[in-house]
Structures are given as C-alpha cells and as structure tokens.
Amino acid sequence: MQGRPVRRVAITGMGAISPLGVGANALWQGLCEGRSAIGPLQHVDAGRLRVKVAAQVPASFDPAANIDERTLPMLDRTSEFALHAAREAVAQSGLDFASNGLGLRTAVIVGTGVGGETTQDEQSRRLYGENSNRAHPLTIVRLMTNASASQISIAWGLRGPTFAVASACASANHAIIQAAQMIRWGLADVAITGGTEACLTYGALRAWEAMRVLADDTCRPFSVNRRGLVLGEGAGIFVLESMEHAQARGATILAELAGSGMTADATDIVMPSADGAASAMRQALDDAGLAPQDVDYINAHGTGTQANDVTETKAIHLAFGAHADRLAVSSTKSMHGHALGASGALELVAAIGALRDNVVPPTANLDKVDPACDLDYVPNVAREMPVRAVLSNSFAFGGLNAVLALKRAP
C-alpha cells in the first residue's frame, strides 16, 4: 500500500433500532425532544431482580416485518436488531451490491459487547434450570459473536472482509474505525458497520447488579445526584464509502468520517483514566486535521456513574485546553440508555444529526450539575447552534478508548 493516497470516508446510509423507536429518524427525533426512553424493566424475571429500570426497544418491534421467515430461526435478538438497522441503512444509501462486482469490495464489520446473550441465557436456563439434556440445534449460530456481521454479509451477498469487534462499551466505535480504515487504505470501497446489543437477560442483569453501578431511578449524567448507569439495547448500522465512490454515483452524503483515535489506559480494568481518554481525543483531532477550536460538539460517553463523568470532564479539558469551555457536550445515554457495544452506534446517529441539522441533543435528567463536572452539558433542552465538527466518545471497561471525528458533508 506504500504510495497509495489515503482516501476520505463518506457516510451515506444509517439505520437504527433503539428504545426511542424503530428507525434512525425515530431515534434522532426522540433525542431532539429530550425524551427519555428509560422506564420500568419489562422482563419475565423482573420480580427477582433489584434493578427496576432499563431502556428497552419497544414491544411493538416486529423482526418478522423486515426479515425473511427462513432466516428468523437462526437469529438471536442482537442479530434481529442488526439486520433491521442494516436494511434501513442500505436502503438510504441506494447502493446495488450486485452491480459491477461491488459485493466483492464491501466489508462488514459489526461491534458487540456480549454477542448472542439472549440465546446464551435461554439455553443456560434450559440446561441448568430445567435439567434438559439437549441444547437447541441452532444455539451456536445464534450466539456466536460474529453472527450479526455474517448475517448481514449473507443478506446482501457481500464477500469482502467480514468480522466482529468486541471491546465492551467501545465495540461499535472500534468496528466503525476498522471499517473506515479499510476504505481509507483501499482494502474496500464500501463497508457496512456499526454495533448491536441485546443484553437485558436475567443473567446479565444479575451480573451488572453485582457491580453496584446501576441506577435505581434514571440516568443522570454529570448531575450531582447521579446514581449510576441504566442499561439499554438496540443497534445502529451505517454505510461507509470512499468519498470518491460516493460522489461519482451522486450519493447523498450524510457526513464525513474524518478521523479517529484509539488508545488503552493500561491502568485498571474498570476505573477510567483521563490521560487515556484525552489521548484518544487528541489522536482523533490530529487524524481528522482538526484544531480543537474547529469542534463545536462532543457526544460524551457520559454513563452517569460517579467515576466516568468526572474523568471524562477532566479528559476533555486535557484534550481541548481553553476551548473546552466553549464546547457543547451532551450524553444521549440519558435518553437511550447504555447499550454497551451498540452505544457508540446509537450515538453516531446523534452526531450525524447534529451536523446535518445544526442541533445539539441535550443531556436529559440534568437538574443540578456536579461542581466537579464544569462543562456546558446542554441541560434538558436541545440547542440550535452551528455545528462544524463533532467528536463522539466511547470509553470501555478494560481501559479501551475509541473516538470518532466527523465533519459536515462536503
């Protein structure tokens, strides 16, 4: 690849399924309204759990409405979400993968924190709780971490590099970065990428309870009375193309994925590091050719835990210096919850919307800001303002940081 020019990356399609509704537009409109989708946990085992709230995809979501009946039996809920969002993204992009051999030059890279957790939980219940001697014959194809990426590849006959990325809460951003790098360096012309998660199972909820980081009321990022994170679910899937490819076919370009940064804290498995997060943000700025003052909005990781919100605030100060005080910063997890490996993908919908509509979504439930969190967090009400460039932060357990930098569409 020596001597090959680095190609710019365009986003030409996006799709989502989220607690705020079916479709990327439903997610974006809900965020602009400051409407929180966090509510009472709806689960068959809710009475056995201490956690009482979650951000769940609406019960009206019907995977059969958009997925072939022969495929459905092979899908875990996480793959149902991914395929649904992918169909929306591909339709918006207008691509025909059967023409000119495009399917051979299209990558599929999907992030997920836990993969087919619903299937895993169901089969564990069957084997250990009901003393069954057999697991369902499709268990492996449902629960394997790469299932969503493989199902997308099969659905459109895509034969480029296809795999999953798992890095806890940074999975979606890491997947999107890998997809963008393949396009930049000429390994693919198009990529379908994003993140998906369906983690609201009895076993997973019990495990999160044991960590003592779950809120018992709602998600209040940066608020003095925040009580922890609220788990969510869903998927966000995007179509990326080389800018040259998108412009040559007259595609509508939603935004330019201009750069990225990836670092590891290498300090603690759960406690975040301001230095590690700041380093990832600086890398993203440098990669995108942006000065700190070029950025108007940061979609924060903003989980609502005591440690994350203070640490991320410090990291933004470290990365942006004096410009930090002029940034709009918000956490949309206050509305769609923390969807773990899918969170960065849901938040990319927010970042694109901010650039496209010049609207910054708010941090919901923010009644009184923690004095240790001293930035402009756009409390409760969306703000109309010029948005030229955006960073979207994802910081994961394991000390893994992945930051996207976006510019307005050319």
* pLDDT band of 1, cuts 50, 70, 90: very low
Candidate list 174, 245, 336, 338, residue with the active-site label: 338
Q: Does 357 score more than 80 pLDDT?
A: yes
CB 388 within 8 A of CB 296: yes
CB 106 within 8 A of CB 188: yes
pLDDT of residue 5: 76
Question: Three-state SS across 153-186?
Answer: HHHHCCCCCEEEECECECHHHHHHHHHHHHHHCC
pLDDT of residue 403: 99
Q: Does 173 score more than 70 pLDDT?
A: yes
Residue 336 known to be catalytic: no
Residue 301 known to be catalytic: yes
**What percentage of the chain reaches a pLDDT higher than 90?**
98
Q: Does 3 score more than 90 pLDDT?
A: no
What pTM did the predictor assign? 0.98
Candidate list 84, 174, 301, 336, residue with the active-site label: 301
Cite the DSSP H helix spans in 94-213: 117-124, 139-143, 147-156, 171-184, 202-211
> For residue 410, what are its two tokens?
């050319």
CB 102 within 8 A of CB 241: no
Q: Tell me which of 96-100, 151-155, 368-372, 399-403 is least confident.
A: 96-100
Residue 338 known to be catalytic: yes
Spell out the domains of the chain, with CATH numbers in brackets. 9-248 (3.40.47.10), 258-407 (3.40.47.10)
Candidate list 169, 199, 219, 373, residue with the active-site label: 169
CB 152 within 8 A of CB 178: no
Give bridge partners of residue 395 from the DSSP assignment. 401
Residue-averaged pLDDT of the chain: 97
Over residues 296-313, mean pLDDT? 98
